[in-house]
Chains A and B, each alone.
Chain A
Amino acid sequence: MSNSTEWPLWEVFVRSRRGLSHTHAGSLHAPDAEMALRNARDLYTRRSEGVSLWVVPSAAITASSPDEKDAFFDPAADKPYRHPTFYDIPEGVQHL
């Protein structure tokens, strides 16, 4: 039994023309990376010029576990020295 549902899942990251970084746009099924790129172009970029696409097999992504969220991400807000908030931002600094 080989049918379409056996095509692996790919995650798609798109950087728009004026964008600074790649953003997760969604996922799709494709037989291989080349076709995944082409499908991503059709599905997520509408072929606008000057965008960059990344495709990654979903199986290659390791996600943090929702169960460990608290231990993982709790920001320890009671220790202000851990947060870089004591600095003045110099003028002219962009993208901060």
Chain B
Amino acid sequence: MTQPVQTDVAAAALALGDDALVLSHRLGEWAGHAPVLEEEVALANIALDLLGQARVLLSTAGDEDELAYLREERAFRNVQLVEQPNGDFAHTIVRQLFFSVYQQLLYGQLADGESEFAPLAAKAVKEVAYHQDHARQWTLRLGDGTEESHARTQRAVDALWRFTGELFQPVPGVSVNWQEMRVSWHATVTSVLREATLTVPDGPQTGAWSAGAGRQGLHTESFGRMLAEMQHLHRSHPGASW
């Protein structure tokens, strides 16, 4: 159904688009379940921003609906961080912090460049700045909140840390300075976590380390279930328009 992606640009659009699509779906799962109404609206807002980014990117790579609904798990190119289950609120917030800092650095560089992604990045960088601010605010409150919120947030940081190294695997077709991004990412995240009284984990390379190969189509266990839910309707009624 989905033809193999030809160019580097299309492959890059797919990778970045899958990141946004998958995280958007995860955030959508919070609808009706967030701790308070206001926070539900905020998470939905962020999800909608990401879905908008995904639509633009996937359209660059091919037919957005086909790509979203008819690919098998192994054909998805998102990093493993974004497919991680929501867990508790702290878990969602820490995932959001890690990813939004990454996205802001990525789109910041792309917006200044001349690539095909510059127009999208220029728009997205504003959205992502808000996502990062939101995640930062909550990380500070949870980390420096009660004993329990602190423990839960630290647990989330420790659990998700190993998926952050993958963020800086260069994506062919995306011309940014990955090494510089990694350094800035680590500096920003470290300062937020420290301010939130949390401990920054240490892995190999003193920084983020990676268990992930999502960019190669290898995903973690829960991702298949998420896709089954996301794609169910489209696969049950192939070719329907809505």
Contacts and interface: CB of A to CB of B under 8 A. Distances in A.
Interface of A: 4, 7, 28-31, 34-35, 38-39, 42-43, 47
A40 B133 CA distance: 15
A67 to B, nearest CB: 33
Contact of B137 (A7, A29, A38): A38
Contacts of B130: 47
A13 B141 CA distance: 25
A31 B39 CA distance: 11
Contacts of A34: 137
B104 to A, nearest CB: 16
B122 to A, nearest CB: 14
B134 interface: yes
Nearest to B41: A42
A35 B41 contact: no
A42 B137 contact: no
Interface of B: 35-39, 41-42, 45, 130, 133-134, 137, 141
A29 B36 contact: yes
Contacts of B41: 39, 42-43
B150 to A, nearest CB: 15
Nearest to A5: B36
A74 B41 CA distance: 43
Nearest to A35: B137
A4 B34 CA distance: 11
B29 to A, nearest CB: 19
B11 to A, nearest CB: 32
Which 6 A-B pairs give the minimum distances between C-beta atoms? A39-B38, A4-B36, A42-B41, A42-B42, A42-B45, A28-B38
13 contacts: A4-B35, A7-B36, A29-B36, A29-B37, A29-B38, A34-B137, A35-B137, A35-B141, A38-B42, A38-B133, A38-B134, A39-B41, A42-B42
Contacts of B141: 31, 35
A4 to B, nearest CB: 4
Given A31-B141, A34-B137, A39 B35 contact: no
A43 B42 CA distance: 8
Given A35-B38, A42-B42, 19 more contacts: A4-B35, A4-B36, A7-B36, A29-B36, A29-B37, A29-B38, A34-B137, A35-B137, A35-B141, A38-B42, A38-B133, A38-B137, A39-B39, A39-B41, A39-B42, A42-B45, A43-B38, A47-B45, A47-B130
Contacts of A42: 38, 41-42, 45
A34 B134 CA distance: 10
A35 B38 CA distance: 10
A30 B138 CA distance: 12
A28 B39 CA distance: 11
Contacts of A31: 141
Contacts of B36: 4, 7, 29
Specify which of B36, B38, B134 lies most central, judged by the most chain A CB atoms within 10 Å of its CB. B38
A27 to B, nearest CB: 11
